[in-house]
Structure 1
Amino acid sequence: MPMRVLALSFLQVLLAGCTMGPDYVRPQAVVPAEFKEMKGWKQAQPRDDSLPGKWWEIFGDAQLNALQEQVAGGNQSLVAAEAQYRQAQHLVQSARAAYLPTAGVTGSVNRFKAASGQSVAVSGIRNLFGTALNIAWEPDLWGSVRRQVEADTSSAQASAATLQALRLSTQAALAQDYFQLRALDAQQQLLEKTVAAYQKTLDITRNRYAAGVAARNDVLQAEAQLEAARGQAIDVGVSRSQMEHALAVLIGKSPAELNLPRTEQLPGSLPQIPVGVPSTLLERRPDIANAERLVAAANAKIGVAKAAYFPSLTLSATNGFQTVNLSKLFSMASRYWALGPAAAAWTLLDGGAKNAQLKQAVDSFDVSVAQYRQAVLTGFQEVEDSLSALRTLQEEQLVLDKAVQSARSALTITENQYKAGTVSYLNVMTAQAAALTNEKSSIAVLGERLSYSVQLVKALGGGWDDGSLPDSDAAAGDSSWTDVLPFPMQ
């Protein structure tokens, strides 16, 4: 009975083993109680702490929605990131395989002649046939395999977060490019209206010159102003084409395959974006989740490095057949078996290699912790920057709207005065230039506000949270019984 208890205890040690290295604890990061730039920010109603998964729908633009739906399957950077995530999943499967024994089959045939002078049962040339099944297993006594699986699982989760971060970045880039294109549409429409207005003014000036009440110089100035406006309209067209080409590439198409019709104007109002509190940002940013998972992977690799200090044990067994007669190869008389060898190996001196590897693992962990904390700080900075920009641009928009109205009124009065002959054409040109400049500035600011709204959504994680990270089983990917076969089934 004592021997049986001892054997069971030894088997339990072999199966369970112990795990080297520290257990993972998420690093502490500085988290403010509230966002500095939240003052005056109007929260979404009804109040919601998270954005919808399809966050771009809050802008209410059907064309933008249609483009975003094409990103997932068409963008080649995302296709590459998805393949890298699958690669990380297969690394987990490879690490888990070390839990199980390995088995192999060998077959052999020898034809030989014993040396003369030896005492053998059968002299002359002989044949020897053999086959054997070999099984070997290295128990995970010190948790090296467990820590490696833990590290690869965390790396696969980090890869999943990287994929989401790239997806969000691509979606945000598409939305920003789209709104920039719409701002160019609005500018082109403004310039076309301006060209039409300048043409009317030129016609009036020519008539006044023909009647002898205007100078030739007034006609030349009106013509120059008209052509300058036409040149600006052409330049906007070039920029719009380039922006449309960029959108095509983002959705995985060639520029020739995408033609977006012009729109009349930009959205008149911006959506209210739920910002929430700073503490939730750590759970909503995929790049922060990626950095945190890399810390967990680095922590597990410390355990792998520590386990290398301890001896390894390999258990093996062989069962086979051997005979000089091929027809009797699989008979019981030809069978043989062996338990062992049971081999233990322990490196006593290695010139400090293991110690250096352990120090490298600790240093790598320190690096990942610093990078995680930097990712957190960068996340807070991006939210604050977006909030500050949106608040400032909203104030600028109000000022510019007033300037646009004043410039339009001044232009109307000046044109009437010019027609009445009370002011020179120079006054008209000045008023027209002021009106055009203010209206272009107003359009540009509205485009910037839309762009920073997208930037804020991106800074808040775009409706994602770390609960979407794959668990340890999902991080290992799908597998089937055919994966253990000695030949590929794909």
Structure 2
Amino acid sequence: MRKPMKISAIAILVASLTACAVGPDYQTPLQVADISIEAPYQQAELAQSWWQAFDDVALNKLIERALQENRTLAQARANVDRAYAVFRDANNDFLPKGTLDAGYQASENGTVSPADDGVITRGYSTGATLSWDLDLFGKIRRATEAAQAQAEQADILWHDAQVQLISQVATNYGEYRGAQLRLVVAEQNLQNLQQSRAIVLARLEAGMASELELAQIDAQLHQVHAAVPAYRVALLTADATLSALLAQKPGQLKLGAVPHLPELKQPVAIAEGENYLRYRADVAASERQLAARTAEIGVATADLYPNLSVRGFLGFMSGPGLTLGSDTQSWSVAPALSWQAADLGSVKARIRQAEASSQMALANFEQQVFNALNEMQLSLSSYNLSREQQLSTELQWQASNKAVQIARERYNAGSGEFLDLLDAERELLRARDQLAQLQQQSFTRLVSIYRSFGGGIQLI
């Protein structure tokens, strides 16, 4: 009766010791009291579907292909698999390890005794070898916590890579359409200038205009022609960038020649009191990094204390007869206690390293929070100012277009000055091209809003 009680007491003692875990328990940072990271994984689907609000068929196809084919995204997905494999490996360290072994050995003159001269001995062994490291002070537990946090960080970064990829595709799609639009605007400007040149030429032939006026209108024509190659380079650049993001050769996009920058049918809405930081994968990833670094302090601290391990063997060992049976059964148990008592200085140095790494991770987390807050605010302000600028330029273009029509009619009728027509044409060219640039800029900044808010912005 006493023996079972003793065994039970030992088991309870071992269980209580393995329940201990040195080092600090991780707590969500309190330095930024008004920030809380809640369920970063639950927002992944929302963060990756915001682009559908544009209802642009070509953009939808580009993003769907990019999510399937992009190699950087595939690398991030593989990194998640690797991180979780590391976590499962660390989590298995709680359990005993064992191998099944079988071996045969033959030797001659096994000792220096003359009696063994010429004697050949043979032996055979088979059985299970087991080992178990008792996690007395939580080193394995803390290592598992760190591995789990790093795996979760890799998963979050994979989701972030998707959001970033979608933003890159949408931005470059806007640049592609913007370059197309500026080419169309240049062609329209050339047509307008050709009409004005025809008027000047007709008046020149009638003796009512000078060669100088014709040369001046030709100079404007050549200026617009000179800008066209830059627009084509921008178009080729956007094509090459999009093709790389989609993992295909350039020149295969087939997006159509009609320029159309996507627009929202409804404005974006910022919900009052909503914590949009929970949509930010980079903030959530830095928080998981902090959790891993905190757990690593416990891993280093556990080396201050002894480590208890148990090794054992259960099987058969036979002599020359190579027989297996009850007479050849064999077992062994070998508990071992190890302690880095002579190297505590190095252990303490590793603890200080882990603590410093934790402080670095905390500072990085806090900085990510402040960066995210400022990036979100800046994206909203930039978009609002861009829209304001775009609306003003649209009015300017409409007024310039009307001024050109009036100046052309007056000049053709002989009651207007050529310089007035030239100035009106020049202002119209500038206003129309600037409007095309601002349309692209507004779209790009709208994409930046969605990216900076992690896709968490809703439509009104």
1:165 matched to which residue of 2?
160
Measured in 2, the distance between the counterparts of 1:167 and 1:52 equals 9
Superposed CA RMSD:
2.2
- Cα deviation for residue 451 of structure 1 reads 0.9
1:103 matched to which residue of 2?
98
Secondary structure of the corresponding residue to residue 24 of structure 2: coil
1:315 matched to 2:310? The reply is yes
Shift of the 233–381 alpha-carbon distance from structure 1 to 2, 3 Å rule, reads same
Measured in 1, the distance between the counterparts of 2:453 and 2:377 equals 11
Secondary structure of the corresponding residue to residue 349 of structure 1: helix
2:47–2:163 Cα contact (<8 Å) kept: no
2:24 matched to which residue of 1?
22
After superposition, the C-alpha distances for 1:396-430 in whole angstroms (9 at most, x for unaligned) are 22221221121111111100111012233222121
Shift of the 272–32 alpha-carbon distance from structure 1 to 2, 3 Å rule, reads farther
Letter in 2 for 1:394: R
Question: What is the percent sequence identity of the aligned residues?
Answer: 24
Shift of the 113–219 alpha-carbon distance from structure 1 to 2, 3 Å rule, reads same
1:212 matched to 2:207? The reply is yes
2:349 matched to which residue of 1?
356
- Cα deviation for residue 335 of structure 1 reads 2.6
Measured in 2, the distance between the counterparts of 1:268 and 1:89 equals 40
Uncovered stretches (5+) of structure 1, i.e. residues with no partner: 34-49, 465-490
1:432 matched to which residue of 2?
425
1:130–1:320 Cα contact (<8 Å) kept: no
- Cα deviation for residue 275 of structure 1 reads 2.8
1:145–1:304 Cα contact (<8 Å) kept: yes
Letter in 2 for 1:181: Y
- Cα deviation for residue 52 of structure 1 reads 6.4
1:150 matched to which residue of 2?
145
Matches within 5 A, 1:71-470: 71-104=66-99, 105-113=101-109, 118=114, 124-132=118-126, 133-267=128-262, 271-277=266-272, 280-326=275-321, 328-338=322-332, 340-350=333-343, 352-463=345-456
1:291–1:371 Cα contact (<8 Å) kept: yes
Uncovered stretches (5+) of structure 2, i.e. residues with no partner: 36-44
1:88–1:155 Cα contact (<8 Å) kept: yes
Letter in 2 for 1:163: W
After superposition, the C-alpha distances for 1:419-459 in whole angstroms (9 at most, x for unaligned) are 01223322212101101111222222221111111111111
Secondary structure of the corresponding residue to residue 163 of structure 2: helix
2:276–2:456 Cα contact (<8 Å) kept: no
- Cα deviation for residue 69 of structure 1 reads 0.5
Shift of the 112–274 alpha-carbon distance from structure 1 to 2, 3 Å rule, reads farther
2:48–2:166 Cα contact (<8 Å) kept: no
2:38 matched to which residue of 1?
none
Shift of the 352–278 alpha-carbon distance from structure 1 to 2, 3 Å rule, reads farther
More displaced 10-residue stretch of structure 1: 132-141 or 155-164: 132-141
- Cα deviation for residue 314 of structure 1 reads 1.4
**What is the TM-score with the length of structure 2 in the denominator?**
0.91
2:12 matched to which residue of 1?
12
2:197–2:217 Cα contact (<8 Å) kept: yes
Secondary structure of the corresponding residue to residue 218 of structure 2: helix
Measured in 1, the distance between the counterparts of 2:144 and 2:46 equals 34
After superposition, the C-alpha distances for 1:48-80 in whole angstroms (9 at most, x for unaligned) are xx9564110111211111111011121111111
- Cα deviation for residue 118 of structure 1 reads 4.8
Measured in 1, the distance between the counterparts of 2:109 and 2:46 equals 82
Shift of the 115–83 alpha-carbon distance from structure 1 to 2, 3 Å rule, reads closer
Secondary structure of the corresponding residue to residue 311 of structure 2: strand
Measured in 2, the distance between the counterparts of 1:106 and 1:67 equals 58
Measured in 1, the distance between the counterparts of 2:233 and 2:290 equals 47
Measured in 2, the distance between the counterparts of 1:463 and 1:191 equals 38
Shift of the 375–246 alpha-carbon distance from structure 1 to 2, 3 Å rule, reads same
Measured in 1, the distance between the counterparts of 2:162 and 2:113 equals 79
Measured in 2, the distance between the counterparts of 1:397 and 1:270 equals 17
Measured in 2, the distance between the counterparts of 1:423 and 1:219 equals 16
More displaced 10-residue stretch of structure 1: 405-414 or 266-275: 266-275
1:45 matched to which residue of 2?
none
- Cα deviation for residue 228 of structure 1 reads 1.7
After superposition, the C-alpha distances for 1:252-297 in whole angstroms (9 at most, x for unaligned) are 1121332321224434656422333566223111000100001111
Secondary structure of the corresponding residue to residue 314 of structure 1: strand
**What is the TM-score with the length of structure 1 in the denominator?**
0.85
Measured in 2, the distance between the counterparts of 1:116 and 1:392 equals 95
